[in-house]
A and B are shown apart, each in its own frame.
Chain A
Amino acid sequence: MSVLVVVECADGEVKKSSLEVASYGAEVAAMLGTTATAIAVGEANAANLAKLGEQGITKVLHDAEPRLKDFVNNAYTKLIATAAEQEQAKIIILANSNIGAAVGSRLSVRLKASLATNVVELPKTEGGQFVVKRGAFSGKAFSDVALSGDRKIIAVKKNSTEAKHDAGKTAEVSTFAAQLTDADFADAPTQVIMQDQAGGVLLPEADLVVSGGRGMKGPENWSLIEDLAKALGAATACSKPVSDVDWRPHHEHVGQTGITVSPNLYIACGISGAIQHLAGVNSSKVIVVINKDPEAPFFKAADYGIVGDVFDVLPKLTAAVKALG
C-alpha cells in the first residue's frame, strides 16, 4: 500500500499547485507509515520530475506516450488507475484543478473510492475515521467530511498547503507504460488554445492578484491595474459586472460563478464587495481594498484598506512597488 500523487506538468515544469500536492501526499504517506509515489501527466521532463524528491516523493512514474501532453480525460483516468493498481495505492491525491476534478471524479467510480474535492488541510485519522476539511458554500464555510471505504481520493485546493523544499533530495524516475490505445484518446482535444500570457501571470496559479471592478469606469483605464500587476508580478482579475459588459475577458472573472482564487495577496480596486464576489476571494491570505466609498462592504472583509480614488491611489502604489527595487 502506498500514497499515489498525481502531478500536473506543463512545458516540462511541474505546476506549483502540484508541488503543493506532492508535499501534501508525502505528509499523508508519513502519517500512514508508507511512501509517496507520483505519476506525472502533461508535458513532463525527467530532470524536473526527479526534483520532486525535494517535496518528499520517493518514486515518480512517467509514461512517455506523446499524446499525454494534452489533457485527455479517458486516457489520464486509465493511466492513473493503472498506476494505482500497480502501486496498490489506497490514497490518491490530486490538485483541485479542472484536470484534477475531471479525472478524480471518474477515478472514484472506477476504483470504488470515496472522493473529497476542495480539501484545505491534512486528514485527521482519530477514532478509526478518516476526515478531511474542505471548502463549501463557495468559500463561505468549511465542512469536515468523513471518507468511507478502503480507497480514498483527495483533491487539494491550491495555496491551502505549503510546498516543502528539502534541497538536494531526488526521486527515482521510472518509465511506466499504461498500454494506452487509440480508443483511450477518443476524447482528445482537436485543438488547444492557451491564453495570451504576454509576460503576465496566469490567474489560477497566481500568488498575487490585482483586480478591478466597475469603479475603474471603463476598459481604457485597465492600464492602471496592469501597471501595478506588472510591478508586483501579479495576475489581473475582475468582478462579474466587468466581465458581463466585456470590459475584460470571462477567464478573469473572480467570484461565486467565476474563478475562485486563494492567492497570498488580493488587491481589489473599485470593487464594492458583493457577497458573490467575496465568495470567490475570501480564502486569500491578505486582502487589500481600495475604494472611494468608505461604506463599501468589502472593507469589512479586508486586512488593509485605502479610502480614496483608484485613479490617484493606483499610480502611487505602482511607484512605491518600483521604489522597493
Chain B
Amino acid sequence: MKFLVCISNVPDTTTKITFTPDNKEFNKAGVQFVINPWDEYALTRAIELKEAAGAGTVTVLNVGEADTEPNIRKALAIGADDAIRVNAAPQDAYFVAEQIAAIAKEGAYDVILMGKESIDYNGFQVHGMVGEMLGIPTVAPAMKLDMSGNVATLEREIEGGKEIVTVNTPFVASCQQPMCEPRIPNMRGIMTARTKPLKVVPAVGEPARTTVAEFALPPKKQGVKLIDAENAGELIKLLRNEAKVI
C-alpha cells in the first residue's frame, strides 16, 4: 500500500495574526511555523496503517518554498519514508490540488491523506478537488480510517452525526480527530530523517483561480461589562433587554 500524505506549513496555533502595512500579506516576522495540526492526524494514521500491515510506504508531500523543509524533515522524523516538495508558494486551493493530483497520478498512490483543512487558509477544499481531478472518491472529513486489503472503512462526520463509508483504493480522505493520537518525533527518528530522500520538483498546471486582495483583522470588542457574581441573574436581563440575544 502506497500512502501519500499532504502536509502544509502553517503558523503555530498560538500565533498572534498580523499583516504587512498594506494588508496584502501575512506578516511572517518572528512567527514559528508548524505542520498543520489537522495534517498530523493524516500522517500518524498512515504510519500506523503501514506498520499494522507490515508493508508499504508513506510519502509526504508539501507544496511550498525551501523554508518549509524543517517541517518536512519533522514529518520524516515522525516516520514517513520519503518526501516530495513542489517548489512553489501555494497560491490557492486549486493550485495546490493540481500539484497533489499530478504527483498522486505519477506515483500511483493508493491512499491520499491530508488534514481537514489548513488552519491559515481554512479552505476545506483541496481534498474534494484532488478526488475530482483524479476521478476517485473523497471522504471528508474523516474521523476514523481502517484498512483491510484494498478496502477502507471510514467514519465521516456530518452535521449532527456520522456516516460509515466503505471505499476501495485509490481514494482521498481528509482527516480530523479522533482518528489517532498524533505522534511526535523521537531521537532515532530525528537521526534517520536527515538521510531520508527529499525530492524537489517544479510546479505544474494552470494558474490559481482565486487571489487574496486584502486581509483584515476582526473588529475589536468594546470591552467586557462585568456583572457582580452575587447578582448573577442581572446578566440574563442584560442578554434579553440590551444584547437582545435570548
**Closest CB in chain B relative to A299 CB, distance in Å:** 5
Q: Are A276 and B214 in contact (CB under 8 A)?
A: no
From known contacts A109-B129, A202-B160, infer whether A257 and B239 are also in contact, taking CB-CB under 8 Å: no
In the bound complex, do residue B141 and residue A302 qualify as a contact, i.e. CB atoms below 8 Å apart? no
Q: Measured between C-beta atoms, what is the minimum distance from A162 to chain B in Å? A: 14
Give per-residue flags for A177-196: 1 if the beta carbon is below 8 A from chain B beta carbons, else 0.
00000000011111111110
Known: A204-B160, A317-B233. 7 other contacts (CB 8 A): A73-B137, A105-B125, A116-B210, A141-B215, A146-B213, A275-B16, A304-B239
Query: Given the complex, which residues of B lie within 8 Å of A245, measured CB to CB?
Result: none
Q: Is the CB of A195 within 8 A of B140?
A: no
Is the beta-carbon distance between A232 and B122 smaller than 8 angstroms? no
- B233: chain A residues at CB < 8 Å are 316-317, 319-320, 323
Quick check: A187 and B139 within 8 Å, CB to CB? yes
Q: A195 CA to B225 CA in the complex, in Å?
A: 36
Please, which residue of chain B has its CB at the minimum distance from the CB of A292?
Answer: B229
- Total interface residues on B, CB under 8 Å, equals 76
Residues of the B chain whose Cβ atoms lie less than 8 Å from the Cβ of A133: 216
Does residue B138 face the partner (Cβ distance < 8 Å to A)?
yes
Q: B37 at interface (Cβ–Cβ under 8 A)? A: yes
At the interface, is chain A mostly helix, strand, loop or mixed?
mixed
The segment from B59-67, B70-78, B164-172 found at the interface with A is B164-172
Query: How far is A122 from B17 in the complex, measured between Cα atoms in Å?
Result: 25
Judge if A89 is at the interface, Cβ distance under 8 Å.
no
Q: Are A108 and B125 in contact (CB under 8 A)?
A: yes
- Known contacts: A276-B13, A276-B14. The answer to whether A289 contacts B224 by CB under 8 A is yes
Q: Is A90 an interface residue (CB 8 A)?
A: no
Residues of A within 8 A of B55 (CB): none
State whether B140 touches A98 (Cβ < 8 A).
yes
Interface residues on A, range: 35 or more
Q: Which of A48-56, A167-175, A215-223, A305-313 is the contact stretch?
A: A305-313
List chain B residues, Cβ under 8 A from A305: 224-227
A200-255 contacts to B, CB under 8 A, are 202, 204-205, 208, 232, 250-251, 253
Given contacts A141-B216, A189-B156, contact A257 B119 (CB under 8 A): yes
Contact of B128 with A by CB under 8 A: yes
* Chain B interface (Cβ < 8 Å from any Cβ of A): 11, 13-14, 16-17, 19, 26, 37-38, 93-94, 97, 119-129, 131-133, 137-141, 143, 156-167, 176-178, 209-218, 221-222, 224-229, 232-233, 235-240, 243, 245-246
The reply to whether A313 and B229 form a contact with Cβ atoms under 8 Å apart is: yes
A286 touches B210 (CB 8 A): no
Q: Are A251 and B157 in contact (CB under 8 A)?
A: yes
Known: A73-B138, A145-B211. A265 touches B245 (CB 8 A): yes
C-alpha gap A134/B210 in the complex (Å): 12
Cβ contacts under 8 Å, B156 to chain A: 71, 98, 189
Is A98 in contact with B218, judged by CB distance below 8 angstroms?
Answer: no
Please give the distance in Å from B71's CB to the nearest CB on chain A: 17
How long is the Cα–Cα vector from A200 to B133 in the complex, in angstroms?
40
Asked if A301 is at the interface of the complex by the 8 Å CB criterion, the answer is: yes
B100 to chain A, nearest CB (A): 12
Across the interface, do B160 and A74 meet the contact criterion of CB distance under 8 Å? no
Contact across chains for A288 and B235 when beta carbons are under 8 A apart: yes
Can you list 27 pairs linking A and B with CB atoms under 8 Å apart?
A: A73-B139, A77-B132, A101-B124, A101-B128, A105-B138, A106-B128, A109-B94, A109-B97, A114-B209, A117-B124, A135-B122, A138-B122, A141-B218, A146-B211, A146-B213, A149-B209, A186-B137, A190-B165, A192-B162, A256-B119, A257-B176, A265-B245, A276-B14, A303-B225, A309-B229, A312-B232, A324-B246
A71 in contact with B215 given A192-B163, A257-B37, A289-B224 (CB within 8 Å) = no
- How many Å from the CB of A255 to the closest CB on chain B? 9
Q: Which residue of A lies closest to B178 (CB)?
A: A250
Q: Chain B residues near A302 (CB, 8 Å)?
A: 221, 224
Interchain nearest-CB distance for A119 vs B (Å)? 11
Question: Which among B97, B157, B167, B222 is the interface contact of A98 at CB below 8 angstroms?
Answer: B157
What separation, in Å, do the CA atoms of A317 and B230 have in the docked complex? 11
Let me know if A145 and B224 touch, CB within 8 A: no
